[in-house]
């Protein structure tokens, strides 16, 4: 069985600054493997790890943006 691509989904719920407030962030990214990645398992593994790191970074950035937006909506900066 040959892998054509990957979809990595990550999500997190963090507590807000006020009681009963929570912020949910979900990030999903899909990639299609090229011919080299389909043949070589080491390249495929490296590509997957790079994709996972990319999604983790996007989740952290999205959490920071969501917290900032929540603070601005309450009139804080």
pLDDT of 77: 55
Cα-based angle 19, 25, 26 (whole degrees, multiple of 5): 150
Residue 66 contacts residue 25 (beta carbons within 8 Å):
yes
pLDDT of 23: 85
Tell me the two tokens of residue 39: 């043949």
pLDDT at 50 over 60: yes
- Per DSSP, the three-state class of 18 is coil
More confident position, 12 or 20: 12
Tell me the two tokens of residue 68: 């900032």
pLDDT of 44: 86
Cα-based angle 65, 59, 50 (whole degrees, multiple of 5): 140
Query: Is residue 71 very low, low, confident or very high in pLDDT (cuts 50, 70, 90)?
Result: confident
């Amino acid at each position: 069985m040959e892998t054509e691509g990957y979809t990595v989904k990550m999500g997190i719920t963090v507590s807000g600054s006020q009681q009963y407030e929570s912020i949910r962030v979900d990030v999903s990214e899909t990639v299609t493997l090229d011919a080299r990645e389909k043949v070589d398992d080491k390249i495929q593994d490296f590509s997957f790890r790079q994709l996972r790191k990319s999604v983790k970074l996007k989740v952290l950035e999205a959490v920071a943006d969501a917290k900032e937006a929540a603070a601005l909506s309450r009139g804080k900066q």
